[in-house]
């Protein structure tokens, strides 16, 4: 922070560190060993779509890049109830590194074309044999992760105990969001 920023009371927003996404494969091993949670093979990026042909072209290019593998399931682009766009990518659950690389490519492509301010989060879901699911959510604007665990069959209720267990298991492995008010619910997130 510069001298002028101190005098005027301004702060600079924390910059996203997209390379933190590459910590997810290591975190997946920890989640499997400590909590029995396995990657589902799904991953999604959430963003506010901009208007205009430049954004549409960028989004089309990203989807074409991810769909280049003819053996991979097609990328799904959906819109949620709040107007955010979700780009869902699927991989073999054993290929968590490939999934993370694709999510990183989506984020960096949007950022490189000037659409970084519209990025909200990236999500990598995990599940256990008992049907519990948890999404590891990367907050783009904070550069941190947090767990989101909906309770199975309980409507819009969260499994707070599982979220805390995941946070504790991943302490020191990923930059975790300390402010619990930023642990937003991502109800209806594709792939979760």
164, part of any domain = yes
pLDDT of residue 89: 96
103, part of any domain = yes
Mean pLDDT (whole number) for 39-45: 97
Mean pLDDT lowest among 14-23, 33-42, 73-82: 14-23
Q: For residue 115, is pLDDT > 60?
A: yes
88, part of any domain = yes
120, part of any domain = yes
75, part of any domain = yes
* CA count, 13 A, side-chain hemisphere, 132: 19
Structure tokens belonging to residue 123: 């999500």
Domain count within the chain: 1
Range of the domain at 100: 18-182
Per the prediction, the chain carries an average pLDDT of 91
2, part of any domain = no
8, part of any domain = no
154 — pLDDT class (breaks 50, 70, 90): confident
Helix axes 53-66, 96-112, angle to 10 degrees: 160
Structure tokens belonging to residue 29: 């091993």
164 — pLDDT class (breaks 50, 70, 90): very high
Mean pLDDT lowest among 10-19, 48-57, 161-170: 10-19
Alpha carbons 120 and 129: distance in angstroms, whole number: 30
Alpha carbons 192 and 176: distance in angstroms, whole number: 20
What global pTM score does this model have?
0.89
pLDDT of residue 70: 85
pLDDT in tens, 117-128: 999 999 999 999
Alpha carbons 59 and 49: distance in angstroms, whole number: 9
72 — pLDDT class (breaks 50, 70, 90): confident
8 — pLDDT class (breaks 50, 70, 90): low
Alpha carbons 149 and 139: distance in angstroms, whole number: 16
pLDDT of residue 113: 94
Q: For residue 13, is pLDDT > 60?
A: no
Q: For residue 41, is pLDDT > 70?
A: yes
pLDDT of residue 85: 96
pLDDT of residue 155: 83
6, part of any domain = no
CB contact burial 81-103 (16+ within 10 A = b; e otherwise): eeebbbbbbbbeeeebebbbebb
16 — pLDDT class (breaks 50, 70, 90): low
């Amino acid at each position: 922070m510069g001298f002028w920023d101190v005098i005027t009371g301004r702060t600079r927003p924390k910059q996203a560190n997209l390379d933190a996404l590459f910590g997810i494969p290591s975190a997946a091993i920890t989640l499997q060993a400590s909590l029995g949670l396995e990657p589902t093979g799904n991953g999604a990026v959430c963003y506010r779509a901009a208007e205009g042909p430049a954004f549409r072209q960028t989004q089309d290019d990203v989807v074409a890049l991810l769909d280049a593998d003819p053996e991979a399931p097609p990328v799904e682009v959906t819109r949620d109830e709040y107007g955010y766009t979700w780009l869902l990518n699927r991989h073999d659950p054993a290929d968590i590194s490939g999934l993370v690389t694709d999510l990183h490519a989506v984020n960096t492509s949007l950022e490189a074309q000037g659409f970084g301010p519209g990025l909200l989060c990236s999500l990598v879901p995990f599940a256990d044999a008992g049907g519990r699911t948890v999404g590891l959510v990367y907050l783009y604007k904070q550069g941190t992760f947090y767990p989101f665990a909906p309770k199975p069959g309980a409507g819009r209720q969260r499994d707070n105990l599982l979220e805390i267990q995941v946070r504790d298991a991943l302490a020191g492995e990923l930059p975790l969001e300390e402010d619990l008010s930023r642990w937003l619910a991502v109800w209806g997130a594709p792939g979760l």
